Structure 1
């Protein structure tokens, strides 16, 4: 009788394995949370040092157009205006997303509804190939092909927002396309069947039913592509011109937040104003990444399809 009670009280092998698995899972989750918090704290502490330790005004930092942290202006203030880089970053991101979205949705529709078998057979390897190409290859092609063509057609150096937009267009196209394909395939089949049964043509079904039903997830795909474009550094750096100037048109050399970071972060001393100013740019990038993620979560919750 005592042996039976002791066996009932002692945990079984399956229970011990379950407890062990939970411990490993919670440990990994805690490590991930600690890593994310550490990254946030490190970047925030370095980025805010520009305004706390170096006494730079936040408004002048966000709206100033002169970037030369090692020099002072006529009033004795550091020249750390990030507005040209912010404007350029948003310009290349929005323009590349606007250009890539129609192509991505058209390819996704071809793969899912117009020619699902042949489309997936021929286009899926192309999309996977574009995803696997390193950023430096895109930048090198942009530098040796895109920039000379723009220079020959429009004049100037060829570097600028237009070259960056073309390069980013090709880079974000597979991301938006893949997510758009998943969005269209997630639509229940009875949406298509009901529309066709009511006498709608295939293109009316696509325009009136499928695109409207998948719109929230398509917007999520576009935001993912914008986040990818906003954080791209090497490819944009090679074609943008890397001149911290307010862009007056699409073909003047300028600079993005990421290109300025990758160009100068290795040439500054930790704790100095030039280094802290670059960390402030990194903080802006981090905050924008958080904004993109919040938008994705919001749109995903609002647009969930209830079957």
Structure 2
């Protein structure tokens, strides 16, 4: 009985420490959401800015007290969706090759290469995009892209940045498919490609969709690399993929250093941060919904 008391005490201490860690994380998240929401909503409830003018206004000119966030919202969604379209086929194709065709090559060569891409800082991608991608776009499109900076250049750089994330998660999703599914397909006379297309990919679809959403989340929140190649034009709406533009993150980081605390401009920038926070929460909810549907399908 005496030996049980120290064990129970240690167990209670362990439960207390882990519970404190969970409570601390929850407190940090709640505090962050409350702070961003309080500052962001001040724009509408205290400063009196019309939400319709803010979300649908096409000009962001703080000098004239015009705070239309639509150009940045469009720029953020444009580079996110376009970069995902660029990266997705390459990521899925690479994952299929290293898991279904050449697994030894994937473990020995491809996996370390992908991990190397993950470790490259964002500023390096930005510099390469500034001097390589922008120059490439300018050489191809000529006068239509006089500087090369624009949504297309930002999407190409972002596609390279999110490629390791989508590829790695897609590889894990394909590896998680039970081998019995493949063996059953081969036993029915299906070829390797038929097995991959009709069995493996369909079984791994919820996890693959999660990989895509996580890649989009990374693209939506990227700041430095995109800011260096997209042009940083936030005053007007971009009319095409070659037009210079700006994103929510780029406008937020560039503007906070010049904004006076407590001003309308300062609160408008916090409203941009609130949009980013809400979109991140939406992405997380989508991931959870996909995970639940995948669990029900597997069950």
**Short-chain TM bin:** over 0.9
Aligned to 2:298: 306
Worse-matched range after superposition: 27-36 or 116-125: 116-125
Q: Secondary structure at the match of 1:200?
A: coil
TM-score (norm. length: structure 2) = 0.96
1:87 aligns to 2:74 (yes or no): yes
Tell me how many residue pairs correspond in the alignment: 294
Worse-matched range after superposition: 186-195 or 147-156: 147-156
Contact 1:70/1:274 (8 A) holds in 2? no
Worse-matched range after superposition: 148-157 or 20-29: 148-157
Aligned to 2:37: 44
2:168 to 161, 178, 181: 178
Q: Secondary structure at the match of 1:267?
A: coil
TM-score (norm. length: structure 1) = 0.93
Cα displacement (A) at 1:119? 2.4
Stretches of structure 2 lacking an aligned partner (at least 5 in a row): none
Cα displacement (A) at 1:11? 5.1
Aligned to 1:220: 210
Aligned to 2:9: 16
| Aligned ranges 1:290-301 → 2 under 5 Å | 290-301=281-292
Superposed CA deviations along residues 156-189 of structure 1, whole A, max 9, x for unmatched, are: 2110000000000000000000110111011111
Q: Secondary structure at the match of 1:159?
A: coil
Q: In the aligned structure 1, how far is the partner of 2:206 from the partner of 2:248? A: 29
Q: Secondary structure at the match of 2:63?
A: strand
| Aligned ranges 1:102-117 → 2 under 5 Å | 102-117=89-104
1:275 aligns to 2:262 (yes or no): no
Cα displacement (A) at 1:306? 2.9
Superposed CA deviations along residues 241-299 of structure 1, whole A, max 9, x for unmatched, are: 00112111111111100110111111111110111110000000000000000000000
Contact 1:96/1:166 (8 A) holds in 2? yes
Q: In the aligned structure 2, how far is the partner of 1:247 from the partner of 1:180? A: 33
Q: Secondary structure at the match of 1:18?
A: helix
Superposed CA deviations along residues 132-164 of structure 1, whole A, max 9, x for unmatched, are: 000000001000111111112112211000000
Structure of larger gyration radius: 1
Large movers: runs of 4+ above 6 Å: none
Q: In the aligned structure 1, how far is the partner of 2:289 from the partner of 2:92? A: 21
Superposed CA deviations along residues 84-121 of structure 1, whole A, max 9, x for unmatched, are: 10011000000111111110011111111111111221
1:164 aligns to 2:157 (yes or no): no
Aligned to 2:191: 201
Aligned to 2:110: 123
Stretches of structure 1 lacking an aligned partner (at least 5 in a row): 1-6, 72-77
Cα displacement (A) at 1:69? 2.5
Q: In the aligned structure 2, how far is the partner of 1:170 from the partner of 1:129? A: 12
